[in-house]
Amino acid sequence: MLLQLADLEVRYGTIPALKGITLDVGDGEIVTLLGANGAGKTTTLRTISGLQRAWRGTITFAGTDLGHMAPHEVMALGIGHVPEGRRIFPRMTVLENLEMGAYRRRGSIRPDLDRVFGLFPVLGERRKQAGGTLSGGEQQMLAIARSLMGQPRLLLLDEPSMGLAPLIVRDIFAIIRQIRADGTTILLVEQNATQALRLADRGYVMENGVIVMTDRAEQLLRDPRVRAAYLGETAGAGG
């Protein structure tokens, strides 16, 4: 297993947000974490990357305990995090944004730039443009491209489809598939359950800070409870 969360508990003050999460991601997998608003998906990702402290439980990445690591140390181990709400640097140009993604690296970033401009041609066209002037979809692409510049082994994606038009979501999901094919493992948080499950190998469903279900993605896609809760169908009506 590349990433393992064991019995992870996180609290905001005294209020528990994660109540004992056990989850794992194998090398080369796409795993999706589904759940309604407030279920604790973002908290899970933030805790993995050290932006949030765990109250109890362990996080192991490639055999290393991430216990008390600061975010930059976690990134240095090879975890990229594309935060919720596409947090790009709005006043930096596209190119500067990408350079920031490679901040911790020495040596030439030329090949990586070529690679992300290959994945996202639109970013290549707009490399001199300020990040904040991009459309929402382009900003999301920039956020993903920026974290790829750090050459992560594992990419944490927090709702990359949020607020985007269906056509753009389709593009982005296709690129996620490509990123995995290029050798990066992916943990994908989504509310957009159908598309996420079509893309993923396995899925976890989260409610109120606990994992309520886990299975192979195509099983979850067929599960009446999942369909009822996340795919907008009433139980039993699906077929």
Partner 1 sequence: MSTVRAPTPLLRRLWLSTDARRLAACVAGGLVLAVMTGPEGSGTAPTSGFTGSLGNSRVIGFVVFGVVLWLLMTARQRYGTEIRAVSDRLSAAPRRLLPDKRVRGVFYLVLLGIAIGYPTVLNGFWQEVLVDQIGVYVLLALGLNVVVGYAGLLDLGYIAFYAIGAYSAAYWTGALPVHPLFHLNAFYAIPLAVLAAMLAGVILGAPTLRLRGDYLAIVTLGFGEIIEIVANNLQGVTGGAQGVIGIPHFSIHFLGVVYHWGLGSLPYYYLLLGFIVVVLIAFHFLENSRVGRAWVAIREDEVAAESSGINVLKYKVMAFAIGASTSGLAGMVEASKIGFVEPGDFTVQLSILILVLVIFGGMGSLPGAVIGAAVLQFLPQYLRVHPLFGFQQQDLYLYLGAILVVMMIFRPVGVFPSRRRKRELGLAEHGVGSADAMESTTGPIS
Nearer to partner 1, 40 or 101 (CB): 101
Q: Is 42 in the site for ligand ADP (CB under 6 A)?
A: yes
Q: What is the CA radius of gyration of the chain?
A: 18
Q: Are 217 and 224 in contact (CB under 8 A)?
A: no
Quickly list H helices, the chain: 41-48, 71-77, 94-101, 110-119, 121-125, 136-148, 166-181, 193-199, 217-222, 224-230
Nearer to ligand ADP, 31 or 134 (CB): 31
In 57-93, which positions are buried (b, 16+ CB within 10 angstroms) versus exposed (e)? bebbbeeeebeebeeeebbeebbbbbbbebebbeebb
Taking the complex as a whole, how short is the minimal distance between the CB of residue 112 and ligand ADP, in angstroms?
29
Taking the complex as a whole, how short is the minimal distance between the CB of residue 158 and ligand ADP, in angstroms?
7
The single-letter DSSP state of residue 62 is T
Restricting to residues 1-40, which ones interact with ligand ADP according to CB under 6 A? 12, 17, 35, 37-40
Nearer to partner 1, 1 or 170 (CB): 170
Taking the complex as a whole, how short is the minimal distance between the CB of residue 202 and partner 1, in angstroms?
19
Tokens, residue 188: 């994908």
Amino acid residing at 224: P
Query: Cα(112)–Cα(124) distance, rounded to whole angstroms?
Result: 12
Nearer to Mg ion, 42 or 147 (CB): 42
Q: Which does 17 bind (CB under 5 to 8 A by kind): partner 1, ligand ADP, Mg ion, none?
A: ligand ADP
User: Which residues bind to partner 1, rule: CB under 8 A?
Assistant: 49, 51, 70-72, 75-76, 80-83, 87-92, 96, 99-101, 103-104, 130, 132-137, 139, 146-147, 150, 161-166, 168-169, 191-195, 231
Nearer to Mg ion, 78 or 80 (CB): 80
Between the alpha carbon of residue 144 and those of residues 117, 121, 162, 167, 172, the distances in Å are 12, 13, 13, 17, 9
Q: Is 47 in the site for Mg ion (CB under 5 A)?
A: no
- Helix or strand or coil: residue 14? coil
Taking the complex as a whole, how short is the minimal distance between the CB of residue 163 and ligand ADP, in angstroms?
14
Nearer to partner 1, 104 or 225 (CB): 104
**Contact set with Mg ion (CB under 5 A):** 42, 84
**Contact set with ligand ADP (CB under 6 A):** 12, 17, 35, 37-43
